[in-house]
Structure 1
């Protein structure tokens, strides 16, 4: 299960071990927004050292067209990483350049109006494993606020494009709440209800909340077992469970919950 993706600035090596021990499914060492231009070179050195010493991490590189993109590609050419997050993904070209230097899975960040307009093209690019939503940058680019209503269309498009392209379910953007577990849980639950499989995190305290929300609950698993057992007893025919009809789509949902567990 890839539910939580925790960002760590690439120029803060003293935080790497803490992040790796925070329980996140994926730790992302960041070379982009969290690192000042003057620190990007030293960040690459810190990241290379950590990976060469065995750290299993993903990298968020700098965007295509920025001065740092070529240097990030050179770093990827010599490192084995868990994955690559490509910011400001808007076309297939940068994905092709990535595929030429690494076979690591790629997570394009959809965080602009153009990226959303071309999301299906991006989803079909080489090496793409799943999409992620850069909700904060998208708000700025699209000129909308961060309410659920304002971002509903973008989120739904990313979920639909992922499904059409045959990708794993996408990852939703960060929560700006750091200490309010109820807010983080509510945002994560909204993401899960829309079809996202996880959420980006910017602080270790967010990780356990996100993991819990995106893990099937005991009640969900008990329901799923009842559905599967009832379907087996009926020989695959439609059957009633807890007063509701169970047919093939419901069975597939139940099987999916059990598979996650």
Structure 2
């Protein structure tokens, strides 16, 4: 299962869009039962998703938060869905809740951190056995902290999620959505920053965001050229050697070069 790259949300009430979402090129598709579904339509979203997952490609589902009245019904409905790839748990701040969901459904869990309390417990969440990845609910997080959802304001939180994921031996975390769906390059710029910080993917809310996000997380031609040059230089010597940019080539540099080339496979 590929956990990096673009993840695409699709509203749980929009069954005609489920197949389109899977064909749009996202790494993973998330059927959303939370923010994208009106409270009056929660039951309908469960029924619609159940029909789809009976014969669909593996698909993730975002349930409603554990503190809501819909959570228990969401989890109960997911127990019967064979096509379920995993569960996205929003407002994640309790390792016990995440483990209970994972155990009950026998599926991997993504912890969506969206609050100060969630960030405070991010390292515990990352060490929860059922959790395979952490995602950043940046807009909700900014609202919770009464701060602007800007790169500077959220830098510390993003860096903490990268560190927590590494300490928990998880894949790099998944960054939050870009709200501007009219300008795909806005998502691309956000994705490039996230990758620079150590994120491995990004949540998307429109198919037009997928291609620019995927490109942003892929190595550039200059990075690939650098990696090839580093490995070529390292292969020609047993001692210290300078790389293509004058940088001394040692083990961390060689490992980074290998990682860049392997990320294109």
- The interval holding the TM-score normalised by the smaller chain is over 0.9
Distance 2:107 2:234 in 1: 40
Q: Which residue of 2 aligns with 1:82?
A: 85
User: Are residues 1:250 and 2:234 paired?
Assistant: no
The more displaced of 27-36 and 46-55 is 46-55
- Give the superposition deviation at 1:54: 2.2
Distance 1:70 1:181 in 2: 36
Of 176, 191, 210, which aligns to 1:173?
176
User: Are residues 1:40 and 2:42 paired?
Assistant: yes
Change (3 A) 1:219 1:113: same
3-state DSSP of counterpart to 1:23: coil
Distance 1:118 1:129 in 2: 16
Q: What pairs up with 1:141-160 in 2 under 5 angstroms?
A: 141-160=144-163
User: Are residues 1:186 and 2:189 paired?
Assistant: yes
3-state DSSP of counterpart to 1:130: strand
- Give the superposition deviation at 1:221: 1.5
Q: Which residue of 2 aligns with 1:50?
A: 52
Q: Which residue of 2 aligns with 1:26?
A: 28
Q: Which runs of 4+ in 1 moved over 4 A?
A: none
- Give the superposition deviation at 1:238: 3.2
Tell me, yes or no, if the aligned pair for 2:10 and 2:30 is still in contact at 8 Å: yes
- Give the superposition deviation at 1:99: 2.2
- Give the superposition deviation at 1:216: 1.2
TM-score normalised per structure 1: 0.96
Tell me, yes or no, if the aligned pair for 2:103 and 2:130 is still in contact at 8 Å: no
The more displaced of 102-111 and 168-177 is 102-111
Q: How many residues align?
A: 260
CA-to-partner distance for each residue in 1:100-154, whole Å, 9 max, x for gaps? 2222221100100000011101111121111000000001101100111100010
Q: Which residue of 2 aligns with 1:203?
A: 206
Q: Which residue of 1 aligns with 2:235?
A: 232
Tell me, yes or no, if the aligned pair for 1:76 and 1:101 is still in contact at 8 Å: no
Unaligned runs of 5+ in 1: none
Tell me, yes or no, if the aligned pair for 1:184 and 1:210 is still in contact at 8 Å: yes
Give the alignment's Cα RMSD to 1 decimal: 1.2
3-state DSSP of counterpart to 1:223: helix
Tell me, yes or no, if the aligned pair for 2:99 and 2:131 is still in contact at 8 Å: no
TM-score normalised per structure 2: 0.95
Distance 2:185 2:102 in 1: 40
3-state DSSP of counterpart to 1:131: strand
